[in-house]
Amino acid sequence: MTDRIVTVDASPVKEFFIDILTRDISLVAAILDLVDNSVDSARSMRPNGDLAGIHINVVAKPGEFSIEDNCGGIGVRNAKDYVFRMGRPDDAVVNPGSIGQFGVGLKRGLFKLGSSFIVHSATGLDSFTIDLNVAAWVNEAEWSFPMNVHDDAAPSERGTTIIVDSLHARVAEAFSDDETLETLRQELQSRHRLAVTNGLNLTLNGTAIPKAESTVALSELIAPAVRTFDVPTFGDGMVSVRIVVGVSARPADDVDEDGEPESQPRAAVDAGWLVFGNGRLLLANDKTSLTGWGSGRNNIPQYHNQFARFRGFVYMDSVDSNAIPWNTMKTGVDSDSKIWRLIRQAMIEAARDVIKLLNYAKVERHIGLASAGVQTPILDALNAAGPRDASEAAEEITIQYSMSITELRGGLIVAASYPEPNADLVAALKKIQYQVDSSSFDDLATALGTSSAAEIGRQSFEDFYAKHVGS
């Protein structure tokens, strides 16, 4: 038998590649990827974090999509060798502390949106334009893109413009839907809240994206807990972590903080943990076990609206974006990551004092406000505190509790501060909990005109107390 070697064609089919690349990402997430690239450039231009004067303008309409920014632009060499590669080569130049990680966001976003696109970028030193008909490119054997390099680049021109002028039909339909556009607006506001707070002018269809509130109550009596520490990663990498956890300066709107969990129609929208990776919001107002809720009686209880004022912020930053424990679409964290598990435990520990604070506040609402002249120091302090940006509050507290380098080696730990509660009120409150037949409960609820288990329990106790003890 004579053997011979033949070459097997294992090259990917472009249509299959594009389908795999875009299938599992939503339209809104694909647009956020494109915005991420602009924000990365803005942060690279302004490492001090001040983004005043920088703009990113997004247009999403049935007949057009574009992103235009003045964030520094893409150099010709980077565009030629790295930016338009399908994945990130090992020798790619990566901005320290960037959001982009895998080198797929730009291409995935463009393919998701339409069948042709134009990318024009200028750095002040050079500029280029790529004008690609994706439908024609798919039928070509060559994987490269033609790039028109402009040798007469204007030194004053800096920024990138992306235009997708042949939208897929489903994309054009989505851009005519007010609900889709509102979702995009909310995601832009939420995910890039830190950049907007730092001065970035981000617009959607000509309307500026407003700042999203990221505040905690701060006064001489009320202050959040703060923890700062570094988590070593593979090689010489490091993730710097700052945790800020406190309470809102204002009660939650349209939420009964004293209702029993089973009677709550909805959770407070703004309560929970906000988790950021290199400035990009990963988790918004999370109230699940992922961030420690329900981790045990001695840790953090299950969330219910007694904790509607809870505000927690986690800022994870790393020069190497691979070290951040986020998922590939940067819409969540990797719960299996050892780094995340360490951070989560620190979140639980920092939150304990805030949970105590909110428990004391509930006691004062139950007993103190029902009787005239009873001291309610916790509620008084909450009512007198004002909102302060969580990051700014952490800076103030860090300076206030500054330590030597030796003492800082294990990280900075500052517990939440609040007044001593009224000891008589705390000692005076007892909780009674029991279960009854559901049909009997429904009958009594109908008779009393309320479906609140807590209210029915209080009324039944008062009636029983009056009968056997006296009013």
Encode the chain (471 residues) as per-residue pLDDT tens digits.
678 788 777 777 878 778 877 787 899 989 998 998 899 889 888 888 899 999 999 999 998 999 999 998 988 888 888 788 765 555 444 554 444 443 466 888 888 999 999 999 999 889 999 999 988 888 888 888 889 998 776 777 899 999 998 899 999 999 999 999 999 999 999 889 989 999 999 999 999 999 888 899 999 899 999 999 998 887 677 899 999 999 998 877 667 676 655 555 566 788 999 999 988 889 999 999 999 998 765 678 888 888 999 999 999 988 887 888 887 666 788 888 999 999 999 999 999 999 989 988 888 877 655 555 677 888 888 888 999 999 888 888 877 765 544 444 557 888 888 888 777 666 655 667 777 887 887 788 777 666 666 667 766 766 776 677 754
What's the pLDDT at 407? Answer: 45
Claim to verify: residue 39 and residue 187 sit in the same structural domain: yes
Decide: helix, strand or coil at residue 231. Answer: strand
Please report, to the nearest 10 degrees, the dihedral formed by the alpha carbons of residues 139, 145, 150, 154 taken in order.
Answer: 120
Claim to verify: residue 135 and residue 262 sit in the same structural domain: no
Q: Among 207, 234, 251, identify where a domain stops.
A: 207
- How far is the C-alpha of 312 from the C-alpha of 303, rounded, in Å? 13
Tokens of 140: 């070509």
What's the pLDDT at 152? Answer: 75
Count of the separate structural domains present in the chain:
3
Claim to verify: residue 364 and residue 343 sit in the same structural domain: yes
- How far is the C-alpha of 308 from the C-alpha of 438, rounded, in Å? 28
Decide: helix, strand or coil at residue 3. Answer: coil
Claim to verify: residue 294 and residue 409 sit in the same structural domain: yes
What's the pLDDT at 455? Answer: 63
DSSP state of 322: G
* In the block, residue with structure tokens 């924000």: 39
Decide: helix, strand or coil at residue 315. Answer: strand
- Residue 162 covered by a domain: yes
- Residue 123 covered by a domain: yes
Half-sphere exposure of 389 (CA within 13 A, CB side): 10
What's the pLDDT at 258? Answer: 64
- Of 305, 214, 216, the C-alpha closest to 268 is 305
Distance of CA 98 to the CA centre of its chain: 16
Claim to verify: residue 294 and residue 187 sit in the same structural domain: no
293 contact partners, CB below 8 Å, separation of at least 6: 272, 286, 287, 300, 301, 302, 303
End-to-end Cα, the chain, rounded Å:
106
Tokens of 239: 């993730």
- Residue 283 covered by a domain: yes
Listed in sequence order, the DSSP H helices in 134-239 are 134-138, 169-175, 178-191, 193-197
Tokens of 123: 């750095």
- How far is the C-alpha of 465 from the C-alpha of 439, rounded, in Å? 24
Decide: helix, strand or coil at residue 117. Answer: strand
Claim to verify: residue 200 and residue 227 sit in the same structural domain: no
H and E: helices and strands count for the chain: 15, 16
Q: Among 189, 207, 225, identify where a domain stops.
A: 207
Please report, to the nearest 10 degrees, the dihedral formed by the alpha carbons of residues 309, 314, 315, 319 taken in order.
Answer: -170
- Residue 8 covered by a domain: no
104 contact partners, CB below 8 Å, separation of at least 6: 21, 86, 87
282 contact partners, CB below 8 Å, separation of at least 6: 275, 276, 326, 330, 331, 332, 333
- Residue 101 covered by a domain: yes
- Of 228, 200, 196, 199, the C-alpha closest to 212 is 196
Q: Is the C-alpha dihedral spanning 73, 77, 79, 82 positive or negative?
A: negative
Claim to verify: residue 402 and residue 258 sit in the same structural domain: yes
- How far is the C-alpha of 272 from the C-alpha of 315, rounded, in Å? 14
Neighbouring CB atoms inside 10 A of 284's CB total 18
182 contact partners, CB below 8 Å, separation of at least 6: none
- Residue 442 covered by a domain: yes
Claim to verify: residue 119 and residue 154 sit in the same structural domain: yes
What's the pLDDT at 415? Answer: 87
Please report, to the nearest 10 degrees, the dihedral formed by the alpha carbons of residues 303, 309, 310, 313 taken in order.
Answer: 140
What's the pLDDT at 208? Answer: 96
Claim to verify: residue 203 and residue 220 sit in the same structural domain: no
- Residue 2 covered by a domain: no
DSSP state of 81: I
Claim to verify: residue 154 and residue 223 sit in the same structural domain: no
The angle formed by the CA atoms of residues 333, 323 and 226, to the nearest 5 degrees, is 70
- Residue 45 covered by a domain: yes
Neighbouring CB atoms inside 10 A of 296's CB total 9
The CATH number assigned to the domain holding 116 equals: 3.30.565.10
Decide: helix, strand or coil at residue 208. Answer: strand
In order of 134, 290, 318, 322, 344, the CA distances from 337 in angstroms are 37, 12, 15, 12, 10
Which residue range forms the structural domain that includes residue 265?
216-426
Claim to verify: residue 462 and residue 338 sit in the same structural domain: no
Claim to verify: residue 53 and residue 202 sit in the same structural domain: yes
Q: Among 207, 236, 260, identify where a domain stops.
A: 207
What's the pLDDT at 404? Answer: 44
Tokens of 148: 């028109």
For residue 388, list its beta bridge partners.
216
